[in-house]
Structure 1
Amino acid sequence: MTIGSHQPLTGLASSAYGDVGPAAKAYFDYVNAHGGVHGRKIDYKYLDDAYNPVRTVSVVRKLVEQDKVFAIFNGLGTPTHTKVVDYLNSRKVPDLLVASGCVCWDDPKKLPYTFGFITDYVREGKILGAYIKKTFPGKRIAYFTQDDQVGRDGINGLDKEISAASIVSRQVYQPGNLDITPQITAIDQASADVIVMFGIPQYAAQLRKEQLKLGNKAQLVLSTSASDPGTLVRLLQGASADQSATSLIQGIVTDGALPQPADARNPWIRLFTKILNEHAPSLSLTTSTVLSMSSAYIFVQALQAAGPDPTRQSLVTAMERGGFTWPGYTPLGFSKTSHAGGTGTRIGTITGTTLKYQGPPMTTDDGNGPVEPYEAPPTTPSANGIPEAPSATARGGGHRGEYGTVRNQRAPS
């Protein structure tokens, strides 16, 4: 079975996301080494689009029309994938677990073959906004966002929680233009106490560099898409003659939906480390590779549920049936009426080169519902790392306390 994807193997986003495709392939290689899914091997072809929407169109058309892929899996990027989503649905190609938090993927009527994956930016904005409102009362807030759906969705969520009177500056940047001096100067002149950003790591690093130039001390709050600590350290090397790159990211507030790569006690991290060591030893375990392998784990469950002779429709039906086990701290939202992925995140601060979580996971909707704690314990992977169909694993897997299985129960939906 051949599946395909578009990934930024070169270009602006490659330093943050270049390992996403290879990490998923490592998981599929692991599954293939254990007999595949219903005896079928997964042939995963991911092509380089350099995070360029024009190139995305050409590589996806090649995958569909020449390589005859059964499905597109984990296509990365909001500005890129929005250029091919209508095409994939018109061709009735399953478009699963898009690597983007755009709320636009959750549209079963218009886009019946498309399913999101990571917590959408509206929900994430609400959760970050609720934290900012509680933690920085009376402070002056500035927005710095990517000028596309990433930023617009993030602002939508933030504005549901943060009062308009608190916002002293709203600045956007164009992907591809690294000169953000005018925007950060405007934020500095507005005397913002907190800068909240939705975007990608390259611009988070540029933001931090501009703060250094201006002597700006505002607290940074970054979306999870912008805040991988290892990537930020690489991008900030040499930014200051007086401080190390690692010291420049200390105390940044961000959020995440998954266990951190440094958490060696976590059973998912142990599994993914083992798989990379066996099938892609040149890759490092990062937040991006953990996210990628998590999506591959879900995809295998969907294939299991689609049956020994899967069709594109049976794969879509399996996705809508939901009940998947995954490493995330909150449930996935898949159903016939929702093609959303993650339903929440967890707030933390960057400490050293990892994200240290604070408090419980938080969950919400993409409307006006409350932001509230999600207290059910997380899940463990299957014993051999190869999941069965959700119906065969009680649709939720073995829930656990602190790394010990407690009991099986269906995950809330």
Structure 2
Amino acid sequence: MSTRRQLAVLAAALAIVATSGSAALAQKKYDTGATDTEIKVGNIMPYSGPASAYGVIGRTEAAYFKMINDQGGINGRKINFISYDDNYSPPKTVEQARKLVESDEVLLVFNSLGTPPNTAIQKYMNQKKVPQLFVATGATKWNDPQNFPWTMGWQPNYQSETIIYARYILKNHPNAKIAVLYQNDDYGKDYLKGLKDGLGAKAASMIVAEDSYEVSEPTIDSHIVRLKATGADVFINITTPKFAAQAIKKNAELGWKPLHFLNNVSGSIGSVIKPAGFENAQDIISSQYFKDPTDAQWKTDKAMIAWNEFLDKYYPEANRADASVMYAYIVSQGLVHVLKACGDNLTRENIMKQAASIRDYEPLGLLPGVKVNTSPTDFAPLSQLQLIRFKGETWERFGEVLSGDVGG
């Protein structure tokens, strides 16, 4: 081969290499917060204040992402998890969200907790076009892709949950007199709306009392006294963990034994039931969509084995009876699933695209038959629940896996 021809072949080969290299580089797309080596993930939790029992969620997530990083990260990139305390105070949430977006320059804000806190930052996150992904609240408003395309929930929504309770009451206790205690904010009102929608035309006659409390109150004892005085034989308890435990205790002190429904965000044995006293919680009804770590039937389950191995190494001090630890483990898997699906296109737009394209995903820890599904028009990843009843020192599942379709 002549020297001229050799040079021509070499030049052609170099051109091909250069072109393919450029194509490979072109395939990598990053927004602020993502690089070849790092993905910045923001988070806001009530590590202090009236909802501090939920702070364990942020600590579990930090431990989970440490495990992922030790395993090589996501497509070779390490998660830089930045989590701040907001004291469950919406003005503080706004401050922390601005810090995460404008100072820390995170790619997204993940699983920040609470309905009032997330409501306070929803418009800001959408104006900035920063994903407010898998928020840790079941408010129905997070499923509104048309008006808030950058906000997505995770857990079954509150209205669906109380619709399921309402249907149970109508079927099994059609003449019930219902008393409702609820937190006086969007979280409590969302649950209350679901209950009324589920009861339909009978809501006005069946609900004999509604009483709301403020999160700033030190105790809800006086509310329980008022509700007992109505003679109600069904109690709908829409409270966060601190107040849920108080309500269970006070009912026992007063000798008030209505059929007691407890919203599932306060169904943790470790942070609610045990402090309130197992003997005081017998026969309370709630709902679940993930496996209860205290339930012996899951002892040899592969998801529970993996969960325990993770905690042994990365969060050994965790209270394994606290359902919030399992919740955080499951939702963290959800984020990893989405980030892996993004590949090398780590733009905020693609994160929301992948989050809205989940099909029959089953992270470790969900109950059998419960799956994660989303679409561009459905931002509610989980929608199924199973009723549970407290017996002895654990929850017992009963009935089928249900879906409380909102407005259905």
Which of the five TM-score ranges fits, normalised by the shorter chain? 0.7 to 0.9
In the superposition, relative to structure 1, how do residues 359 and 331 fare at CA in structure 2: closer, same or farther (>3 Å)? same
Q: Using the TM superposition, name which of 134-143 and 31-40 deviates more.
A: 134-143
| 1:261–1:290 contact (8 Å) kept in structure 2 | yes
Structure holding more helix per residue: 2
Contact 1:178/1:206 (8 A) holds in 2: no
TM-aligned CA deviation for residue 210 of structure 1: 2.7
Amino acid at match of 2:210: R
Q: Does 1:22 align with 2:53?
A: no
The CA deviation string for residues 127-151 of structure 1, in whole angstroms up to 9 with x for no partner, is: 1111222232322111111111222
Please tell me the residue identity of whatever aligns with 2:286. T
Q: Deviations over 1:309-360 (max 9, x none)?
A: 4111111110111113324342334110011121121101122332211122
Which residue of 2 is the match for residue 4 of structure 1? 42
Q: 2:328 is aligned with what amino acid?
A: S
Q: Is the 8 A contact 2:252 2:280 kept in 1?
A: no
Q: Distance in 1 between matches of 2:308 and 2:402?
A: 27
The question of 1:304 aligning with 2:340 is answered: yes
The C-alpha deviation readout for 1:182-234, integer Å capped at 9, x for no partner, is 42222112101110112212111222233234321222110001221211245
CA contact (8 A) 2:267 2:323 kept: no
Q: How many residues align?
A: 359
| Structure-1 separation of matches of 2:288 and 2:187 | 16
Alignment match of 2:244 (pick from 204, 209, 217):
204
Residue aligned with 2:346, SS: coil
What SS does structure 2 have at the residue aligned with 1:18?
helix
Q: Is 1:256 the equivalent of 2:292?
A: no
Q: 3-state DSSP class of the match of 1:84?
A: helix
Instruction: Answer whether contact 1:94 1:315 (CA < 8 A) is retained.
Output: yes
Match for residue 195 of structure 2? 158
Judge conservation of contact 2:267–2:273 (CA < 8 Å) in 1: no
Determine if the alignment matches structure 1 residue 265 to structure 2 residue 300.
Answer: yes
Q: Does the aligned pair in 2 maintain the 1:85–1:114 contact within 8 Å?
A: yes
SS, match of residue 129 in structure 1: helix
The two structures have a TM-score, normalised by structure 1, of 0.83
Q: Which has the larger radius of gyration?
A: 2
Which residues of structure 2 form unaligned runs of 5+? 1-38
Identity over the aligned pairs, expressed in percent? 30
- Is 2:218 aligned against 1:178? yes
Q: CA deviation at 1:279?
A: 1.0
Q: Tell me the SS of whatever aligns to 1:115.
A: coil
Q: CA–CA distance in 2 between the matches of 1:229 and 1:128?
A: 20
Q: CA deviation at 1:28?
A: 1.2
- Whether contact under 8 Å (1:97, 1:116) holds in the other structure is yes
Alpha-carbon separation, structure 1, partners of 2:371 and 2:399: 17
Between 188-197 and 266-275, report the one with greater CA deviation. Answer: 266-275
The letter for the 1-side match of 2:302 is P
How far is 1:272 from its partner? 1.4
Q: Does the 8 Å CA contact 1:298/1:325 hold for their aligned counterparts? A: no
Q: Is the 8 A contact 2:219 2:243 kept in 1?
A: no
Structure 1 unaligned residues grouped into runs of 5+:
237-244, 369-413
Find the residue that maps to 1:339 and give its secondary structure.
coil
Superposed displacement of residue 97, structure 1: 0.5
- For residues 325 and 172 of structure 2, the distance between their equivalents in structure 1, rounded to whole angstroms, comes to 31
Instruction: Provide Cα deviations, 1:263-310, integer angstroms capped at 9, x if missing partner.
Output: 323322221111111111111222101111101101111001111241
CA distance in 1, matches of 2:239, 2:57: 17
1:280 is aligned to 315
